Structure 1
């Protein structure tokens, strides 16, 4: 208990960890817990980052290694073991079902990306690995099928897969299409989708000669996207 308290750094966090993973109480400190702690420190988990890691899944202290498949996944996304998102990907590769992660990666290929393009996308925007297959598929379908953009467009603008589907992508794509039909504008879709809400309304909608029409279209598109989400949830 004393050793675990030093690892979890507070009584409250330790108690919550033991409730979630009581097997920690019967582990041998020398044979399991200390080697596990050294292993995770080797991946860069120390101090507060280690505590946050254990809050998500205290069972990681029961392991002193990762399977080759999980290590391979981490190294393919972060070849040099560096990057702002590195520890999050290690976390995901540790606690997530490997079949689920592999299915998400395969899903990107089904959306039109090659194997190398898929890894390039994940290196540029590791957050994508946290999104559901359904979310990514629908966003790719909108961009590729409705907006008629090449799948590689997402590689150039990977943040598009991290924006809200109902609140941002669906309604703004409708506005973008309308603007293109009015004046054949060269307005960048990635710019339209990446803007903060207030700026988008001020610059793109209210700054356009047909602002009243665009605002009405935008409000209706937001309502339609919201209703579609509610219907999908109920189903």
Structure 2
């Protein structure tokens, strides 16, 4: 036996010496063996993955690229198919499935979808949601399915019930904004704060539905903005209150001041600037060049005063090119030919919906006055209003 051991050691030493004297041995013999196998498997796996994400999940462009980097499976892995099958059986249309996978592609790697994903869908159903509502809720924020049922979703719902005071309102709030499930740490303290300040629950619903991003602000910053708006004496039940919170959250102090300076440069007093903000808060969210262009139009083209504009700043919220100028052009044509004896206020005319305006001011005159349609379509160059009437039988009295 000792002799065999000695012979084996001697043979092993000889092999080591030969290997050391042949530096290309590993390159010539060993590496080609692996090259002919591993890379080929990687390419096949990658090609299958891309094909699956594109053809079965409906991904394309940047979503396809991002998802392909997040998931890892090949043709022998049946998990992705079982996930898609679960969604289809529940009632998710293909466009909804595509969105879910694009947001949380890692969901395709769920080991047991029936045990991990379906209970979360069933939990939403148990909250008095219909299948259609669950589909809508998950599609709006697919990250819900990436959260733990027992450690996050259920505790979040219980916390919300405690804050709101009853289950039905908590369910209604989650229907408005499923993002509460995935932004819990930020949103719940801010919702609790609003309720303590006496904000009606109906306003909370609007916050969650339209401005959920504001509720995700750090609590200290959110409280600071709220106190600023409160100091301006907004009505808590007014939509202006919500818009004001959004506008002030949108700006830092320097941006806010630059908007105020811009309005003051047109002759607005500090009180008039505040009046503009209180009656149309979202104006302060516009870019400075947009504000400048609109204010200049009303002050120079229509001869309004800053005081007049501050009394009805809503007219600044309308598109200058798509609504204000075409409508003013139509009215100028009607004024010039004295076509009607009706009296209208310009701000009222700008506020009516498009269908009513076309019916009352364009369609009714288009046969006898082709210029009206041309003015509405922007084919007549608009310069400024002269307010001069042609003819004396009828007139259009417009309060500019």
Contact 2:190 2:215 in 1 (8 A): no
| Residue matched to 2:179 | 13
Q: 1:38 to 1:16 in 2, by over 3 A?
A: closer
Which is further off, 188-197 or 168-177? 188-197
Match of 1:193 among 333, 345, 350: 350
Contact 1:176 1:189 in 2 (8 A): no
Aligned residue runs from structure 1 range 30-109, under 5 A? 38-43=192-197, 44=199, 48-49=205-206, 51-52=208-209, 55-57=212-214, 59-63=216-220, 66-67=223-224, 71-76=227-232, 78=234, 81-94=236-249, 96-109=251-264
* In 1, Cα distance between equivalents of 2:364 and 2:174: 53
How many angstroms does 1:55 deviate by?
Answer: 3.2
Structure 1 unmatched ranges of 5 or more: 19-23, 25-31, 225-235
* In 2, Cα distance between equivalents of 1:72 and 1:48: 21
* In 2, Cα distance between equivalents of 1:140 and 1:38: 39
CA RMSD, aligned part only? 3.9
**Which of structure 1's runs of 4+ aligned residues deviate more than 6 A?**
32-35
Q: 1:4 to 1:144 in 2, by over 3 A?
A: same
* In 2, Cα distance between equivalents of 1:117 and 1:154: 9
| Residue matched to 2:378 | 220
Contact 2:374 2:380 in 1 (8 A): no
Q: Decide which structure has the larger Cα Rg and report it.
A: 2
Aligned residue runs from structure 1 range 135-146, under 5 A? 135-146=290-301
| Greater helix fraction, Structure 1 or Structure 2 | 1
Instruction: With a CA cutoff of 8 Å and minimum separation of 6, indicate the structure with the bigger relative contact order.
Output: 1
* In 2, Cα distance between equivalents of 1:100 and 1:106: 10
How many angstroms does 1:194 deviate by?
Answer: 2.3
Structure 2 unmatched ranges of 5 or more: 1-150, 161-172, 383-400
* TM-score of the aligned structures, taking structure 1 as reference length: 0.67
How many angstroms does 1:62 deviate by?
Answer: 4.1
Aligned residue runs from structure 1 range 132-211, under 5 A? 132-183=287-338, 188-208=345-365, 211=369
* In 1, Cα distance between equivalents of 2:327 and 2:187: 51
Question: 3-state DSSP class of the match of 1:127?
Answer: helix
* TM-score of the aligned structures, taking structure 2 as reference length: 0.43
Q: 1:17 to 1:145 in 2, by over 3 A?
A: same
| Residue matched to 1:229 | none
* In 1, Cα distance between equivalents of 2:264 and 2:228: 18
